[in-house]
Chain A
Amino acid sequence: MESKNQTITIETRALTKRFGETVAVAGLDLEVRRGEVYGLLGPNGAGKTTTLRMLLGLVRPTAGTATVLGRPPGDGEGLAQLGALVEEPAFYPYLSGRDNLRVLARYCGVSATRVDEALCTVELSDRGGSKLKSYSLGMRQRLGVAAALLKNPQLLILDEPTRGLDPKGMAEMRTLIRAVGRGARTVLLCSHLLGEVEQVCDRVGVIDKGRMVRQAPVEELRAGGRLVVEAEPLEAAERVCREFPGVSDVEVVGGKLELSLDGDRAGDLNAALQEAGVRVRELRRLQRSLESVFLELTEEGG
């Protein structure tokens, strides 16, 4: 029991939240382990934000239980060790970015020296003195992450941190999340972008209509993705592929092969094709859209 508490950072059991008729979260079982970057993936309205709000003690669950860092949600000791960004970052418009963080540092009782460190981490140092009103969407988003990092927290909870960012900003934000998620720090990241979660997370939970549809390491989800092989001669390539262990559902689509391959063995397949004298022009994994993952997962669920 003792060791389990040390490895599990967030655990929910049958967590449920109803808003009148709407069931936002319906009996969610979530388990986030210490030190991992966990992605909570789901379409709009799946209940991601509501789940985070319950974990932070912002709203009370209708039913079920949750433990965060070994404490009940919203508990002061728990909150002292976590940083959060829920939905859009909310700050005082009349204060500068730096003063906003100074105010927050006083609330959570961390030293004011952390303010400049946090600003530096998100590369906002040179604009820290400007009023928040003058910040672009991306700058606000980065300040939100800086605020979440202020406590140098063990657990970081981020709700769609790349929302509203341009492609460059998104890439920077993902790099930042990977960097802060290194080591012992746990990160819970919500997103509806499969690509984002794939790039950043170790493990993913897919939720839909407030339920956990699947909880798995990223590679496992990714391994389900189909491979595309463009090779000459096509017939020989098809034969090699069909005989290759772990390959299934081979199809010819538009002069290319599409197939499913268990595990991370695309390299081995490539070698087998070369050996058989097939010239491989292209071998890549089809980026599965969130939609297709969902269709599959909901079908599996019955």
Chain B
Amino acid sequence: MRGVLRAELLKLRKRSAPWVLLTVLVLTQALFGYGSLYAVLQMESEELGYRDEQLRAHLMPSTFVGNALGALAGTGGALALILGALAMGSEFRWGTLKTIVTQGPSRLVLGGGKLIALAVALSAFTMISFLVAFGCSMVIAALEGMPVVLPSAGTVVAGLGAGWLLMSVWGSLGFLLATALRGTGLAVGLGLVYQLVIESLLVTAVPWPVRTGEAFRAALIGTNAGALGRHFGVLAGHGFLDAPAVQAAAVLGAYLTVFVLLAVLLLRRCDVL
């Protein structure tokens, strides 16, 4: 297992795709999570003569965990899905699966090693996203001349765990789709359509009977990711779910387990051509 993990990490590290995805995450977070909101804040005070104190508070170091989780639940999840699909799909596309399967590790170990490497990469994404949020909020606090109040260490650690969990759920979905569809393109496409379109249509566009609607809200990935984030101060969105953090985390954990098990099972059974 250790050898497989080291091989997978070497492959991820040397590949440009993960770095491109990470760059996109950092840039969107800095630009939209902080930059553009700070610009709005400036505009309000210059043109309208007042300041949205809630918005300003959202940009301060005390709430950087919630801000980072907001970015991870949105863009981050999409990027994680792409990374997960690439980690497996490319092996089919390049035909390298046969090369590594004949090296000797069992399919179980191979799938496990790949998924752990993906989880390691996604934890790095999560930590970097937190660092970016922290850095941006410190800069804004300095610009605003506000005192620096930091969240408690417990909040930061719990937040990192929440961020990693929701990134991993999307990442493992990408991995599963790539294994099932034996490639990258369709897996990424369908995964993103599900994540960005279908989930939100399910909770907002279908006139379900109230109780069915509630059940969907309680069961989808995006709504649970949102519910988890809200406990760290992420602003509530459309069609939100109001669930305890533990419940949301448990639902996400269940998704992660199912995706991982299905992916490994498929990998074990598939013919390698």
Contact = CB atoms under 8 A, between A and B. Distances in A.
Interface of A: 53, 56-60, 74, 76, 79-80, 82, 84, 86, 88-95, 99, 102-104, 106-109, 147, 151
Given A56-B98, A91-B99, A94-B16, 17 more contacts: A56-B102, A58-B101, A58-B272, A59-B271, A59-B273, A86-B102, A89-B99, A91-B94, A91-B96, A92-B11, A93-B94, A94-B14, A104-B99, A107-B7, A107-B103, A108-B3, A151-B104
Contacts of B272: 53, 58-59
A90 B98 contact: yes
B99 A108 contact: no
Interface string B89-101: 0000011101111
Interface in B98-114: 98-106
A84 B96 contact: no
A59 B15 CA distance: 29
A155 to B, nearest CB: 12
A90 B94 contact: yes
12 contacts: A56-B98, A59-B272, A74-B101, A90-B94, A90-B96, A95-B11, A106-B7, A106-B10, A107-B3, A107-B4, A107-B104, A109-B104
Nearest to B96: A90
A103 B103 CA distance: 10
B6 interface: yes
Contacts of A57: 101
Q: Is the interface of B mostly helix, strand, loop or mixed?
A: helix
B95 A58 contact: no
Contacts of A86: 98, 102
Interface string B1-44: 00110110011001110000000000000000000000000000
A103 B11 contact: yes
A88 B95 contact: yes
A90 to B, nearest CB: 3
A79 to B, nearest CB: 4
A93 B14 CA distance: 11
- Give the 10 A-B residue pairs with the shortest CB-CB distance, closest first: A90-B95, A106-B7, A107-B103, A79-B104, A108-B103, A58-B272, A59-B271, A109-B3, A80-B104, A106-B3
A135 to B, nearest CB: 14
A131 to B, nearest CB: 10
B266 to A, nearest CB: 14
A93 B93 CA distance: 11
For A58, A80, A95, which residue has the most chain B Cβ atoms within 10 angstroms?
Answer: A58
B96 A92 contact: yes
Contact of A58 (B10, B105, B271): B271
B271 A94 contact: no
Contacts of A56: 98, 101-102
Interface centre among B3, B100, B103, B273 (most CB of A within 10 A): B103
Contacts of A58: 98, 101-102, 271-273
A103 B10 contact: yes
Nearest to B109: A76
Nearest to B15: A94
Nearest to A103: B7
A92 B91 CA distance: 9
